[in-house]
A and B are shown apart, each in its own frame.
Chain A
Amino acid sequence: MTDVSASAHASFRPSMLIYDRRYRSLTFQVIVFILVMAALWWLIGNTISNLNAMGKSFDFGFLFQRAGYDISGTPIPYTGNDSHLRATVVGLLNTLIVSILGCIAATILGVAVGVARLSKNWLFARLMTVYVEIFRNIPLLLWILVIYAVFTEILPAPNAYRGDDPAWSMILFDHVALTNRYTAIPTLGMDNDPGSLDLGARVTVNWATIAFVVALVGGWFVRRAINAHAQKVQDRTGVRPATLWKNLAVMILPSLFLIWYFGLHLLPPALKGFNFTGGLNITNSLVVLWLALTLYTAAFIAEIVRAGILAVSRGQSEAAFALGLRPKRTMNLVILPQALRVIIPPLISQYLNLTKNSSLAIAVGYMDLRGTLGGTTLNQTGRELEAIVLMMLIYLTLSLIISAGMNVFNSRVKLKER
């Protein structure tokens, strides 16, 4: 017996590849690797031979051809004479717009509902539970279709605003008109237009926008400096200087000045011809998609928030009260930081889900990435392989960026273990 084991250690036999735990995993990995490579090779080989048989090629040249179709709702200038690439970018921007708007609104609504479900108010808490259960258990596609139907069937055509005694009138002091095509909102007009910065590719940014961004970001930094200084004074003397008015001033005054300087005012939309003009018409497909994504995702976020708050044990808040912290500070300093740690990871996946679900824009004809690149472009050029591969890569990149960004944030709120 000893002889056998000694020799096994001394020399290598092929059977050891299976029976020796040191080699087994290696054998297994090599086999799996070979299988995966073979499968890939087989798939790629098939694809090449299929493409050859159909006389097609795999190239992205079609992106630079003239697109020829029009898109409703373009964040950057676009006409049918532009290339498919530009149409793709327009689609991507539309996807981003609805995703970002959706994430923000869903977070606000979700947190509110999640807290309301924990409220002591019997009626309101029950109502919120009904809302959450209904939205969580019915497919998103149905919500999109229903909200779309609500918008088209219940809201009036722009025609209803016509005449001396219109059937519908504009709301918010004649500034906003709800129609079954779009929501007409005012745009900003300037008496003193500073002109625009040309970023190339017909994308321009108004200098006024830049000025506002600079003013806000600058204000935020100044505010931080003021607060840091106040902290220092407090550490030294024990008395914190009043910062509220200073903070408000640096945040608001520059903007007020800019508004006065550029002569900013609202240009309300007015009915002219078939449609409202003069203002900004936000297409209903965007509003519907945004609303549906928000309501649907908020139901999930509400559950996450509720679970997160419940996950903080009662002892924590009791301990904080015992230390003499007031309820608000208890919430800010004790409960929230702990709850956030539970809330953030699932919240990230909800943001990811929302972004991916925005591809259901197909149901309402919102021209997002799937509608342009994966829809009309694919159809007009017949390049399904390239278009879908490119579309998947873009979505994948988006997802990876979101999860990477959120992971950074996550690691910052993570419990510091020392």
Chain B
Amino acid sequence: MSKANKAVRPKLAQEGFFGRLSYYSSRAVANLRQNVFVSAVTVGTIALALLIASLFLLVYVNLSGMAEGWSDKVQVTAYFDAEPAPLAVAALKGRVQAIPGTAKVLFVSQAEAEKRLRSRLKGQESLLEGISAEVLPASLEIRLDRDHRDNESVAAYVAKLKQIQGITEVQYGEEWVRRFNSFMNLFRLMGALLGGFLTITVLFIVSNTIKLTIYARKDELELLGLVGATRFFIKAPFLIEGVLQGAAGAVISLLALLGCYFAFLKNAGDFLGINPASAGLSFLPPSHLAGVVLGGVLLGFIGSATSLKRFINI
């Protein structure tokens, strides 16, 4: 049967893309109003699921930031056999700075080294009797970029450093770096695993809830098909409903997260003594907040799309 055979229509109010979009949107809003309870269940489920996911994200982002901060302790010290002349120091620093991965270079002269030792042994000065600055070697204290703090990068860096004339010994706390990197790898793996499980759980719960809510309206889907609605005509309002429900669920979850944050989490860092110097846990950055909202919208859209497939049989 050709499209020309379809019934004569008088005035079309929904012609054009925007006209149709406006019709589908108003139908979606009307459907939400007519199915308040079912819609509320869907929004509530999405909000709860996303709240759990974003709580995990908040804790992960903070712990990750904290652990990254510890990596600042990765420091390489290069010792000289003899103190370089003041003019040579600048040239040496320049050569070290040119090695990829160098973040900051500080020259510690023999006098400075002695001063530091004395200040560390304050109250036990007798131990330093007979020790002069010449005993302590001059050195360069080097901080590395974040990307160069893993085992392999540090080892490669040290090898390059040793090629500089005048440097006789390099120390960098090899064992500490190794352990720290193992910890970070484990931390990232656990984060990915937990995040993965959580994502699957959220997808499962939300898609099943949407499936149930669409099942509750299967008569409507069936009737629309029987009076001649196309698949797109049936699906469009449901998909818009899904998007609206997803967005509403995401916004509610973020408001709840904000509430939890100010009520319990903001000062949890101090309370738990994780890092006494920190100013407490920080809230999710805007990019992550946008990600949660987008996640909600996608959950609603994909959940509705996959569920509709099952119940539309035209």
Q: Do A and B bind each other?
A: no
Interface residues of B (CB under 8 A from A): none
Interface residues of A (CB under 8 A from B): none
